[in-house]
Structure 1
Amino acid sequence: MGTQGARVVMVAAIASGQGKTTITAALARRFRRSGQTVRVLKCGPDFIDPMLLERASGAPVHSLDLWMVGPELCRRRLACAAREADVVLIEGVMGLYDGKPSAADLAREFGIPVLAVIDAGAMAQTAGAVVLGLRDYGPVQLAGVVANRVGSEGHARMVAESLRDIPLLGTLPKQARRLPERHLGLVLPDEVGDIDAVLDALADELKFDDAAWDAMPPHSFDDSALPSAPISPLLAGKTVAIARDAAFCFLYPANLDTLRALGAQLAYFSPLADQPVPDGADAVYLPGGYPELHAETLAQAQHWQASIRAAHAAGRPILAECGGMMAVAESITDKDGHAWPMAGLLPGQVKMQGRLAGLGAQGMPTAAGVLRGHTFHYSRLETGTAAAAHAVKHPSGAEGEALYRSGSLTASYFHAFFASNPEAAAGLLLGAQA
C-alpha cells in the first residue's frame, strides 16, 4: 500500500440527510474487513461524524477544508493518507456545492473523483437528472453513484438505467436500523452499545461493484514541494490538562497534534467522572461537547468544580470552547427548563433552545494573527460580561462569536482549529490577551 497511491473518492450528495455518513461508514467497514487499509477524511468542520468514521475505519479522521485547514495542510493530509492506505474516503459536507469553499471546490483543487450518494427512497429515473446535474454544474469528475434506500432489484435497475454513462457502483437497501441522531448530528458511537454490529450490518447490506472499483486508477498527492513550516516549541515544559469524556468530546485530532508539536505534555481527565484538574497542570483546555446532556452529573461533580475554581483562582490559563464555556458558566438550563449549577467562573446563564444559535466558519483575531475555526451550537449565553473580542464570520466578514475573559479564563462558543495558527493557539494556553 501507499507506493503507487490509493483509490481515492469524495463521498458527496445534493444535501445533508442523503446518507453520506452511512455510505462512507459502510464502505470503510467493508474495505477494512476485506483486509485493506482505510483512511477516512472529513470535509468541513465536524466533530461527530469523524468519531463514527474512526470507529468504522480504525484510524483517526482528520479534517479537510480549503479555508479553515488551508490548501497546504489539506495536501499534506491527503498525501499522507494515500501513502498509508489502500483506500481513502473523504466525506463531503452538506450538498456538494454548498458553502464557500465547498466540497466541490476541494475535489477540483486536488483532482479527487466524486462518488455521489443519492437517497433513492422516493425516486427512480429522476436519479439520473440529479446525478447529471451534480456532475455538470461544477463540473466535477464523477467516479460513480451509490444509491441509498433502494427498495428492490427492479428499483436499482431503474436507477442504473437513468444514469446513462455514469456507473451505479453500489446500492444500500432501506435500513431497519438507522444511525441515531440528536440536535448536533449523530449520536456518539460509544453511546450505541452495538455500534460495531450496526456498522457490520451496513457493510453486509451494501451491494458494491468491486470490479468497477478495482478498475479505478490509484491516486497520489505530491506534497514534496510544500515548504516545511516548523512549529516553535512555545509550550515546551508545559502540561496542558484536557477534559475528555462524553460531555467534552469535540476535539480535532489536529488540535492535539498541534499541542504536541508546540512541546506540550497532554494530561486528560474526566469531569463527568468527577476527576479534578490534574496536579501540575500549567493550563486547562475544556473543549466542546454535550454538557447539557450531562448537566445533572456535572452539577454534582464537586471535585471537578472545586478543582477548576482553584485553577482559576491560581491564575492558570483556562481555554473553554462552546460546551467547555457552558460548563464554567453559572448554570445550564436544559431543554426541560431545569437549571443546573455549573462551576461559575464566567458570570451568566446558558439556556438551551430548539433552534440553531450559531453555525459556520469564523476567524478569531489574536495578537499572533487570525485563528481559524467554526461555530455550531443550540444554546445561548445570557451574561452581563462585555466581550473582549469577536470572531469574524467567513466569508461575509460579519461579526461572529463573542470571546470573553474572566481572570485567567478565555471562553467562547468559537471552536478553534489550532493548526491554522499554532502560535495563536499557544498564546491562548499561555494566557496571552487577544
Structure 2
Amino acid sequence: MMTSDKQHATHVRPRLIIAGTGSGAGKTTVTLGLMKALASRGLRVQGFKCGPDYIDPTYHTAVTGRASRNLDAWMTSPEYVCHTFVQAAEGQDISIIEGVMGLYDGKDPLSNTGSTAEIAMVTQTPVILVVDVRSMARSAAAIVLGFQQLEPELNIAGVIVNRCGSAGHYQIVKKAIEQMCDIPVVGWLKREDDMSIPERHLGLVPAIERGELDPLFQRTADVLSEGTDLNLLLKIAGAAPPLKFKNYIPELEQRQVPEQQQNQQNTEVEQEHQDHQEHQEHQKRQDDQDHQARPVIAIARDAAFNFYYPDNLELLEEAGAKLTYFSPIAGEGIPADADSIYLGGGFPEEFAEAIATNKLFLEGLRQAARQHMPVFAECGGYMVLAETLTDRQGVTFNMAGIVPAHVQMQTKRAALGYREASAVQDSFLLEKGDILRGHEFHYSTMTYRETDTIPYAYETKGMRGLKPEGYNSGHILAGYTHVHLGSNPEAAHRWVEHCRMYRQSKQKEVE
C-alpha cells in the first residue's frame, strides 16, 4: 500500500476531532448529530474513528453514506495514519473524527499512545471537547482547563457541553469556561432521555441496514443543530493547518536547469512523455490480463461476519488479489472460484443455528482445509472453525470441526486490549518471528481437546504479558486477535502470493 519516499506533500483537509472527557460523555451522540446535520446541508462528510473499534464506524457509514475509517497510531505508524486520512478525506467537504474513551485514554496511562490525543497531534486536527456538565457550574471550567494544560501541544479549539439542565445552566457553564479557558463553547445539549445511542449490541448491524436507527440519527441532528453554532464549527474545521507528512507516492522532482539546456531537455521530456504513454497503454493491457488471473479471496460478509478493517481489504487488493463476498447466514457456500477464504469477526453466536444448518458453507470450509487452501479466520471466524459453539442460552451447535476445540459463550468479557502478535511458526501470512499488531475483544472461550499439542499461531503481548494464541495448521490460520495488515503490509503480499500458488496448483490438476 505504501512505499517510502523522501518527498513531502501538503494537503488541505477541513477536519475536527470530537473527543470526550471520558467514556459516556456524549461524543458519539455529538459525532452522529454533527455528521447528520452537515450532511443535511448538502456537505460531503467523511467519518473516522480513533482506535480499533468496528461498531462506531458502522454508525458513521450509515449517516454519511461513506465508509468510515479507523485511525490508530499504535497498530500502524503515524505516517500510515496520515496517509489513510488524506486519501479517505480527498474530495470531501469536512472530516469528522470520533475519539475513543476520554481524550487522553489509550494503551499507556503514562503517555498519549493509542489515545485520541495522539491522533489529534498526528493529524494536526482541532479538538472539540464534549463535557458532561450535570450538577456542575464553574467547576466545568476547571475540567476544561485541566485538559488544556495536560498536553499544551494539543489544539482544543472548542467545547460542547452535554446534559445541561436548562438554557440558564448552559449560560453559566459557558461563561465560566470561556472566561478561564479562552476557547469558545460552541453548543450544548439538554438532558434528553431519548438521546441515548443504543448499546453496541449484537443486533446493531442488521438494525442499521434496515434503517431502524434513521429516526435516531435525525433526532441527534435536530437537537445538536438547535443548540450548536454549526457555522463556527465549520470555521474551526476550515482553520485546520495543511497536513504535511512523508509522501508515499513518488512525485516528479522539479529541478532548475540552465537556460541553454532547456531545449535539449524539452525534447527529452517529449520523448519520455511518448514513451510513458506507450508504457501506460501496455500496462493497461497487461493489467486487464492480470485481472483475469488474479487469485480470488472469498470473504464472508453479513450480519454474522462484518468486522473488517477497510485497509486490510484494500491492502489485499493492492497486493494483487480479487475480492469476492458471500453470506453464510443467507445459505451461501464458498464461491467456486475461491483461492483463499477470509472469515472476519462479528457475531456468529447470534446466528449459530443458521450457520450450523448451512451444510454448503461448513462442508466448503472442510473441503478447503483438505485441499490446503489458505484460510484466515479472526475471532468470530475462528469460533466457526471449531467443532461446536455453545451460545449464551446453553444451546450447542455443530460448526466446521476444523479446529479441535469447543467454543463457550459467557456473560463476562474474556479479553480486551491491544495485541502485538509474533508468529511462532511459518504460515501463509507470516514467517516465524514476523509481527502484526491488532486488537482482541470477545466474550467467548476456546477450549481445545488436547492442550499439549496445540499448533499455536502467535505469541501475543498485551497489558498482562505474553500468551500463546490461535491455531496454525495445514494452511489454516486463525485466532482471536483482529490484526491490522497496515502494521506489516508485507503480510498481505505473502498471503496473496500463497493464493496465487494455490491457484496455479489447481490449474495444473485440471490440466
Residue 68 of structure 2: aligned partner: 61
The answer on whether the counterparts of 1:124 and 1:155 sit within 8 Å (CA) in structure 2 is yes
What one-letter code is carried by the residue in structure 2 that aligns with 1:210?
L
Q: CA RMSD in A?
A: 2.6
Q: Does 2:156 align with 1:142?
A: yes
Q: Does 2:353 align with 1:290?
A: no
Deviations along 1:347-386, one digit per CA (max 9) or x if unpaired, are 1111112222111222222318312211111111011351
The answer on whether the counterparts of 1:4 and 1:218 sit within 8 Å (CA) in structure 2 is no
1:125 and 1:264 map into 2 onto residues whose CA distance is: 58
Deviation at 1:257, TM superposition (A): 0.8
Residue 210 of structure 1: aligned partner: 230
1:189 and 1:29 map into 2 onto residues whose CA distance is: 18
Deviation at 1:304, TM superposition (A): 1.3
Change (3 A) 1:171 1:391: farther
Deviation at 1:149, TM superposition (A): 2.5
Deviations along 1:138-162, one digit per CA (max 9) or x if unpaired, are 2321111112233321222122123
Q: Which has the larger radius of gyration?
A: 2
Deviation at 1:225, TM superposition (A): 3.8
Deviations along 1:93-126, one digit per CA (max 9) or x if unpaired, are 1111112412112212332221111223454443
1:126 and 1:187 map into 2 onto residues whose CA distance is: 39
Match of 1:112 among 125, 143, 155: 125
Q: Which moved more, 1:5-14 or 1:33-42?
A: 5-14
Match of 1:422 among 489, 493, 500: 489
Deviations along 1:19-75, one digit per CA (max 9) or x if unpaired, are 222211111111111111111111111111101111112211111111212111111
Match of 1:237 among 294, 299, 319: 294
1:361 and 1:190 map into 2 onto residues whose CA distance is: 27
Change (3 A) 1:95 1:325: same
Residue 393 of structure 1: aligned partner: 461
Change (3 A) 1:175 1:36: farther
Deviation at 1:194, TM superposition (A): 2.2
Q: Does 2:327 align with 1:260?
A: no
Instruction: Map 1:339-350 to 2 at 5 A.
Output: 339-350=396-407
Deviation at 1:190, TM superposition (A): 2.5
Change (3 A) 1:381 1:57: same
Residue 334 of structure 1: aligned partner: 391
Deviations along 1:224-273, one digit per CA (max 9) or x if unpaired, are 642449xxx9x972100000000000011111111110111111001101
Deviation at 1:319, TM superposition (A): 0.4
TM-score, length of structure 1 as denominator length:
0.90
For 2:61, what is the secondary structure of its paired residue?
A: helix
Q: Does 2:440 align with 1:375?
A: yes
Match of 1:274 among 307, 331, 347: 331
2:459 and 2:78 map into 1 onto residues whose CA distance is: 22
Change (3 A) 1:198 1:347: same
Deviation at 1:336, TM superposition (A): 1.7
Q: Which runs of 5+ in 2 are unaligned?
A: 1-9, 108-112, 251-289, 423-429, 502-511
Q: Which runs of 5+ in 1 are unaligned?
A: none
Residue 219 of structure 2: aligned partner: 201
Q: Does 2:215 align with 1:219?
A: no
Change (3 A) 1:74 1:273: same
TM-score, length of structure 2 as denominator length:
0.77
For 2:22, what is the secondary structure of its paired residue?
A: coil
Number of residue pairs aligned between Structure 1 and Structure 2: 426
Q: Does 2:472 align with 1:402?
A: no
Deviation at 1:188, TM superposition (A): 5.8
The answer on whether the counterparts of 1:362 and 1:393 sit within 8 Å (CA) in structure 2 is yes
